Chain A
């Protein structure tokens, strides 16, 4: 019984962490049709907010505003200077953001070195659930992800801003004719996606650790989740992270960590091969 609860909690944790990682990539792809290869580097940059706060001698909580500010400014700069020239050019944008990812990684390495750094848990301690004691910080992140996604979905489906966003994606030309500044919209969408990537790095840093090359793993796992769920919708993202996170957690519990990674890899290959649209098709 306790064993089952632990497995379920681990699955919930895997899924929540993956949802957090993949959200930014899904937003940028869904709204702009750009596969942001530098997504993982924004995750990494967000995680480095801990390092910046530490070096400046500021309290750990200031990492949050530092993360939003630094990642937001870098994303805005990149969108205005590079990415905006590549909208509706799928392959070119892939190469361009790939180049950006290398650049960002190298710059971070120049400033902070290659060393792997540990980040202390912001919330220490274990929570007793039935016969299981589980890290409190993970429970907080799981709760934040569930609440955040519920709010996001409601806002996207019900608010007028949500309607405007869907209108731009659906028919950009008519959206412009309705007075919507699609250029500013694109910048806002890109910056939002990148800041969310940064926030996921910030929140997950205590578990992942911080190093310049941590972005690659984040990008690949997010990409797998989107491939399985279906690129470009919130629903697809939800299904994708549930399946990929669930498979990874299940196989890890039943066999080993390696089997978990392997299972996800096989799943992603099968989907890319047999069902590239993913499980959830756009209506």
Chain B
């Protein structure tokens, strides 16, 4: 298993958002975590990235216990996260944002998102919300890593570019990268997920794999 959460608990200060949550994710797989706003998707992403401390349970990554590692040590071991907000360095140019990942060129991503490649000298904060999402996404995908933790990458992005994102994630998975996708966009989840976990205010309310994944059940998780 690439990533394994064993009964993890955590949240903010004394409020636990997750209690005893477990999940597994193998190389080349996409696990989608769906749920409405406020059900703890971002909290879970931050617990995995190491931005929030765990209150209990353990996290294994690539066969090693990383429960006590700092976020930068997790990043160096190959966990690449794209946060939901502030997913780019606003004060830096596009080129500087990308240079920090250590990537030499954009490759395929440059062709799929030509506007990023054309705006290398522009400061990120002068871009639109959707463009900043795309820049954050490109940053994550060119970063060398084994696990992508993407927190609502499609939010505010045009359909056409969401399709490009899907294609890029597929390509990354074909190369052996695992992807934990936090989303509310059902189309994107359907196109990518090998397994789905649904969250509601009380915790995990839905789990499905492969053929069992049904649009109806996912919509039920997202409605109410």
Q: Which chain A residues have a beta carbon within 8 Å of chain B's beta carbons?
A: 160, 163-164, 166-167, 169-171, 173-183, 283
The docked-state distance in angstroms from the alpha carbon of A283 to that of B90 is 11
Are B86 and A174 interface neighbours, CB within 8 A? yes
Bound complex: CA of A175 vs CA of B101, how far in Å? 10
Are B89 and A166 in touch, CB under 8 angstroms? yes
28 residue pairs A–B, Cβ–Cβ below 8 Å: A160-B99, A163-B92, A163-B100, A166-B89, A166-B92, A167-B89, A167-B92, A167-B96, A167-B100, A170-B89, A170-B90, A173-B83, A174-B83, A174-B86, A174-B89, A176-B72, A176-B75, A177-B49, A177-B51, A178-B72, A178-B75, A178-B100, A178-B101, A179-B72, A179-B76, A180-B72, A181-B70, A283-B123
Interface pair A177/B83, CB less than 8 Å apart: yes
Main DSSP-derived SS at the A contact region: helix
Q: Are B91 and A166 in contact (CB under 8 A)?
A: yes
Cβ of B72 and Cβ of A181 under 8 Å apart?
Answer: yes
In the complex, the answer to whether A173 meets B100 with C-beta atoms within 8 Å is no
How big is chain B's contact interface, by range? 20 to 34
Q: A171-B86, A174-B83, A177-B83 are in contact. Are A182 and B91 (CB under 8 A)?
A: no
Q: Is the CB of A170 within 8 A of B92?
A: yes
Interchain CA distance A27-B79 in the complex, whole Å: 31
- Best-surrounded residue of B71, B92, B101, B123 (most CB of chain A within 10 A): B71
Which residues on the A side are within 8 Å of B81 (C-beta)? 177
Contact digits for B81-121, partner A, Cβ 8 Å, 1 yes 0 no = 10100111111100010011100000000000000000000
Max chain A C-beta neighbours (<10 A), residue from B49, B83, B100, B143: B100
The answer for the CA separation of A219 and B57 in the assembled complex, in Å, is: 49
